[in-house]
Amino acid sequence: MHQFLKARQDVLTQIAQACQTAHRNSDDVQLLAVSKTHPSTALEEMYRCGQRAFGENYLQEALQKIADLKSLEIEWHFIGHVQRNKTKLLAENFAWVHGVDRLIIAQRLSTQRPQDMSPLNICIQVNIDAQESKDGCQPNEVMQLVEDMSQLPNIHLRGLMVIPAPNNRQAFKDAQQLFDKVKENYPTLKTWDTLSMGMSGDLLDAVQAGSTMVRVGTALFGQRDYH
C-alpha cells in the first residue's frame, strides 16, 4: 500500500479506537493534516488519499501552496501564531484560523474577510497550562473574548485551540472544561463546536479528553526537515 495512504489510515484507526474507548462517535473528531515544511506535491498526494483539510504555520509558505494547489478542493487552516500585519492575507486565503488570542486580531480578520467569501472560522488559542513562552490568552480571558468576538459579522467563532506541553493530560481536561463552560454560558452560539487539540504524539489523550479536531503532521508525512 502507498506510504501516505497507510499513514493516513493508521491515524484514522487510532482516532477511531480512541473514540471507541471514550464512548464517542468517530465522526465527531476531524483530522487536520499539518503539512508545514512539506512540498505541494506531498499535499497533493495526501489529497489523493482522501484528505481535504490541511494546516499550515508559515504564511508565505502556505500562500505558495494555496496557489500551487488551487485546482483542488482543499480546506486551508492557519495554525501558526497570528501577527497583526498578517491578518489581511489570512482573511483572504484561509477557511480557518486557529491561533487567535486577542480581540484586535479577530476584529481585523472580520473587517478584512472578503464579502464574497463565507465567514472565516476562528478558534481562540488558550495558554491552558500557563507556559511561559507560549502564545494564547489566559483561561480567565476566554469568556470576555467570546462575548466580544461572537458579535463580529464576518467570522464564525468555532471554539478553542490549545498546545499544551507534552504528556500533560490534565491540560486537555482543563481545555475541555473551559470549552463546555462557554457552551453553557452561550447556548445561542451555534457555531461553538470545535476543540482543536492533540498532535501526533498525544492524539489519543486529546481524543479521550474531548478533542474534536486533531492536528497531525509527523504521523502522516514523516519527520520534518527545516533546512
Contact positions vs ligand PLP (CB under 6 A): 34, 36, 57, 79, 163, 199-201, 215-219
24 versus 98: smaller Cβ distance to ligand PLP: 98
Residue 170 Cβ vs ligand PLP, minimum distance, rounded to whole Å? 19
Residue with the shortest CB distance to ligand PLP? 217
Closest distance between ligand PLP and the C-beta of residue 132, in Å? Answer: 17
In the complex, minimum distance from the CB of residue 135 to ligand PLP, in angstroms, rounded to a whole number: 10
Backbone angles phi, psi at 26, to 5 degrees: -70, -15
User: CB-wise, 79 or 155, nearer to ligand PLP?
Assistant: 79
Closest to ligand PLP by CB, 31 or 189 = 31
Q: How far is the CB of 185 from ligand PLP (least distance, A)?
A: 26
Contact criterion met (CB below 8 Å) for 82 and 105:
yes
User: Which single residue is written with the C-alpha cell 493516513?
Assistant: 8
Minimum Å gap between C-beta 112 and ligand PLP is: 22
Q: Which is nearer to ligand PLP, 152 or 221 (CB)?
A: 221
Nearer to ligand PLP (CB atom), residue 37 or residue 107: 37
Task: Give ∠ CA 27-32-34 in degrees, rounded to 5.
Answer: 160
